[in-house]
Structure 1
């Protein structure tokens, strides 16, 4: 009887362990991410509580923080925002993420997104000679579309002074965040290879974009750090019908065949759950799909990635990395919505907080199957 009891107990442990291994979140989706603007210093404690009580229980294992100039840079204090995170603040973020086994990745927008609406961001405001299109003046009142095709400014990737500056920022923020990866943004780049730029005029836009990706990637590799970017500029907006926002209409899409294969692609689609992760994976790139505020799309996107991984060959499976919930506001606005302190009545169910809850609920259900 004792031998039979021991055998039954052993079998139950074996079966439980086998089933657990099949449904472990890491085997289902290696990357389960969350991307948001870094909090202001005065709101840091509330965000840390959110990491501890909301991200960790949902088994989020990657946190991308859009830092940009919200850090007290020592290398370039002239580029700081007025109110910034201190190094001590950042170490609090590092501590809570390490405690919960969350990979912390800082982001600074490189190349594009050097302005927004009628405001020039810090890099080009302080160093206007780095502007790819200095002849395009910022309007008092911004409207789209406009005669200049101005969405966001870009820096000139071939200007000899740009990389010494931005790489000092990148190194400093990566050191502070103790990061083994860095997100460079690089989405929605409309200004590149401008005809009036003395350095870029006449050059192939795909080669310019790929060259900037490789330059950033090679710099990070010196300290064994990986490069992450948004994937929209690598998709052909005309052939796919995806258009100018979530894909490229200015011929940068050919850069997909020119960039290093160890660059991680964050493939965002907000209007439709387009299945472009397959394209990136077939090009040899690792990819995570990224929803924002549409819960139904998010469910479809995570189901797609799970299906892709289940049906793929071994090399392809390893490239389908997972999903990243994106939030295009500061941490404070998101937390106000998430905790019900403020309600977004205009958007109905299509909010970032609802999408976040729905997405990770779906991941939990898929893990339980």
Structure 2
């Protein structure tokens, strides 16, 4: 399995490749004349630049390189997906350009720019068997210690999350006709799960039997020698799935589905890289209870998470204190009517609440798959849901605030505050039956300001509330978790002295890492003796993950939005779940493999989407539709001249791409070039249409750029074109993180209902992405006469349609 540093560099076995040091654009050697000595074709296993030793380097005099520079020609011995090139131990380099097949593939710096520093990363994201890395110094001396090329074989990684060990064997995998489970309850659960999943994927359900048969038989069994949550798969004439516990069996069953989908026969040995791998969700609304179950079944379990945190707030019925639910509903109703500002966390429960029995049902459903479910009962802070019902316990007075009319914190000295919390805890524990309760305690902005608390130590007030709740939980035999920001000194509202006043067996979720990206802030808490979880873990932003993962218990991805498909998809959280799952599970994860993993996520996302949104019928026939364009491929604000033409298959969908495309712009755009609407003739009965499109410029997330109007002989259906949902700009790479800390809670955009059908590079090496979005015809029996593409007046971004293809199931 070739996934990682292809050139070796002390990080693994290199591929059979080599490099040469050449004058720019020629095959004439340019050996170092300042430091080191290398000539000719140097294999990766023998080269100074690929030996993993940064203490040795090569150097060239500035007078030798001048303003022309040096080419490092790298041959890989076969085609690979190339993620990036990393230069280490570098000095004097102001520009790095990478070429694949003679065309630009990536660039960092400027021709006359300053020194780029000791480490230089150049994103690629292309397939190639050789590249040229051109470095330019603008007359400076150049030194270079290491050159790393990161990537993977074209089909790798085969599985996701990536397993520890995969051995591929010759021949296709056998058809699984029988699953043997024996009498073990957990093995039978995994066998039934596997049978259901195979029926969903392939339309055939294997029999569950008690004794092993012959060809096509798969045995599900327990093996206590396998580490916790790990599993072993042997997929051959007589196949095996073995694990020591229920989670391992369930994870292995899901891996088997991926293997059979890939058509590969192999052996797998696997296990987790982190102990706790979690997601944090709002309590779902009643209308989203079925979606919650699909999220568990088709994403959380297959991606090998083991923990769900559910924020309860007022989203669950409280029989002892029904006024909490009434006040929550009323406040959210007023906000929805525009009579009051939005309620903090108002999306939780859909602004309402569900019954205890409904909560118990989804908790037991998740536990049935081996997941741990931890309730979060926000206390001390983020307690608007309590101060709405009991304004007398509020620490802050809304009439004194210019920020919010809602009280954010309760008074830790008010005699009713913890009575209320304990009543809630009792009911939550009754329903969830957890091992731990997450008690919040983050962002306590208002502390020590009410008459009871004024003048008292913030740390002691904070610790008093934590300690009394801790004791109450301990009396029930339960552990406690809280957010950790109040114990971090660099937050302006924190009270770090409290870390010496609370028990050390409280598990801390440390989420303010994104306000201090240059330091491993968890070290402060670890040195105090706490166990730490990476809280609000976002794969789009978290720095130095491979080195930090070894120090903590685990990580959890937060959502902070409604627990429904549209909200999670729009915020990029479904993608974040999938990408983060691999980081938590696979011990070999490296940030240098960002585009390699993104490519794999884009491959499996349609399967996840199918499960979350309801299984889809198989497409029987594709019908490319001829498009009469109004613009050449290179337009005023876009350059799509690199896109292939003619009958082109993209991700299994055939498109007819001509020399012209259709572009439309809003009627209020200044210097408008394109019309506001265009019509495309269709004349077919279809189940749906796949639109191959992009837009010309970035916009606000959720902004409507236009619509497709599907015209029947007697009416029409419309589908909005929404930025960040089903379309993005043409020159943005799919799933490129929105890396500014402002976007930390929603670091991906445009990653859910639209797939990256084609990705390439323009003549300047910029990324080009075309998105495919499928409209499903609610009236497949009615002929679609034509499609009207119409731009919205609210934006200056053009909508660009390159092709459309009809589908019949």
TM-score range, shorter chain: 0.7 to 0.9
The aligned residue for residue 4 of structure 1 is: none
Q: Does 1:303 align with 2:556?
A: no
Does structure 2 conserve the Cα–Cα contact (< 8 Å) formed by 1:41 and 1:86? no
Identify which of 277, 294, 297 aligns with 1:32.
277
Normalising by structure 2, we get a TM-score of 0.35
The aligned residue for residue 612 of structure 2 is: none
Q: Deviations over 1:212-239 (max 9, x none)?
A: 11111111111111111110000001xx
Identify which of 495, 509, 528 aligns with 1:266.
509
The aligned residue for residue 65 of structure 1 is: 310
Q: Does 1:184 align with 2:433?
A: no
The aligned residue for residue 112 of structure 1 is: 381
* Cα distance, 1:336 vs structure 2: 1.6
Identify which of 573, 579, 591 aligns with 1:358.
579
Identify if the C-alpha distance between structure 1 residues 108 and 99 changes in structure 2 by more than 3 Å, giving closer, same or farther: same
Partner Cα separation in structure 2 for residue 204 and residue 74 of structure 1: 36
Does structure 2 conserve the Cα–Cα contact (< 8 Å) formed by 1:272 and 1:297? no
Identify which of 461, 470, 474 aligns with 1:208.
461
Identify which of 478, 493, 498 aligns with 1:255.
498
- Please list every run of 5 or more consecutive structure 2 residues that lacks an aligned counterpart in the other structure: 1-222, 232-268, 330-351, 591-809
The aligned residue for residue 418 of structure 2 is: 163
Partner Cα separation in structure 2 for residue 64 and residue 205 of structure 1: 28
The aligned residue for residue 125 of structure 1 is: 388
- Please list every run of 5 or more consecutive structure 1 residues that lacks an aligned counterpart in the other structure: 1-13, 115-120, 144-149, 238-246, 309-319, 345-350
* Cα distance, 1:23 vs structure 2: 5.5
Partner Cα separation in structure 2 for residue 56 and residue 135 of structure 1: 43
* Cα distance, 1:136 vs structure 2: 4.1
Structure exhibiting the larger radius of gyration computed from Cα positions: 2
Identify if the C-alpha distance between structure 1 residues 292 and 368 changes in structure 2 by more than 3 Å, giving closer, same or farther: closer
Pairing 1:316-331 to 2, within 5 Å after superposition: 320-331=552-563
The aligned residue for residue 715 of structure 2 is: none
Does structure 1 conserve the Cα–Cα contact (< 8 Å) formed by 2:396 and 2:407? no
Partner Cα separation in structure 2 for residue 175 and residue 232 of structure 1: 29
User: As a proportion of its length, which structure holds more strand?
Assistant: 2
Partner Cα separation in structure 1 for residue 553 and residue 515 of structure 2: 21
Does structure 2 conserve the Cα–Cα contact (< 8 Å) formed by 1:24 and 1:367? no
Q: Comparing 274-283 with 203-212, which one deviates more in the overlay?
A: 274-283
Q: Deviations over 1:83-102 (max 9, x none)?
A: 31212211222222221211
The aligned residue for residue 218 of structure 1 is: 471
Identify if the C-alpha distance between structure 1 residues 322 and 134 changes in structure 2 by more than 3 Å, giving closer, same or farther: same
Identify which of 178, 183, 198 aligns with 2:451.
198
SS in 1 for 2:586: helix
Does structure 1 conserve the Cα–Cα contact (< 8 Å) formed by 2:561 and 2:567? no
The aligned residue for residue 741 of structure 2 is: none
Does structure 2 conserve the Cα–Cα contact (< 8 Å) formed by 1:291 and 1:297? no
* Cα distance, 1:153 vs structure 2: 1.9
User: As a proportion of its length, which structure holds more helix?
Assistant: 1
Partner Cα separation in structure 2 for residue 206 and residue 172 of structure 1: 29
Higher relative contact order (CA 8 A, sep 6+): 1
Identify which of 77, 80, 93 aligns with 2:322.
77
Q: How many residues are treated as equivalent by the alignment?
A: 303
Q: Deviations over 1:172-199 (max 9, x none)?
A: 11211111211111111110011xx222
Normalising by structure 1, we get a TM-score of 0.75
Identify which of 395, 409, 420 aligns with 1:154.
409
SS in 2 for 1:331: coil
* Cα distance, 1:138 vs structure 2: 5.6
Q: Does 1:228 align with 2:449?
A: no
Q: Does 1:134 align with 2:397?
A: yes
Partner Cα separation in structure 2 for residue 89 and residue 276 of structure 1: 39
* Cα distance, 1:361 vs structure 2: 2.2
Partner Cα separation in structure 2 for residue 226 and residue 354 of structure 1: 31
* Cα distance, 1:40 vs structure 2: 0.7
* Cα distance, 1:352 vs structure 2: 2.9
Q: Comparing 76-85 with 270-279, which one deviates more in the overlay?
A: 270-279
The aligned residue for residue 99 of structure 1 is: 368
Partner Cα separation in structure 2 for residue 286 and residue 212 of structure 1: 20
* Cα distance, 1:151 vs structure 2: 9.0
The aligned residue for residue 610 of structure 2 is: none
Partner Cα separation in structure 1 for residue 536 and residue 546 of structure 2: 12
Partner Cα separation in structure 2 for residue 154 and residue 193 of structure 1: 11
SS in 2 for 1:32: strand
Q: Deviations over 1:284-319 (max 9, x none)?
A: 1111012455x3424x464233343xxxxxxxxxxx
SS in 2 for 1:297: coil
SS in 1 for 2:438: strand
* Cα distance, 1:368 vs structure 2: 8.6
Q: Comparing 269-278 with 71-80, which one deviates more in the overlay?
A: 269-278
Identify if the C-alpha distance between structure 1 residues 337 and 126 changes in structure 2 by more than 3 Å, giving closer, same or farther: closer
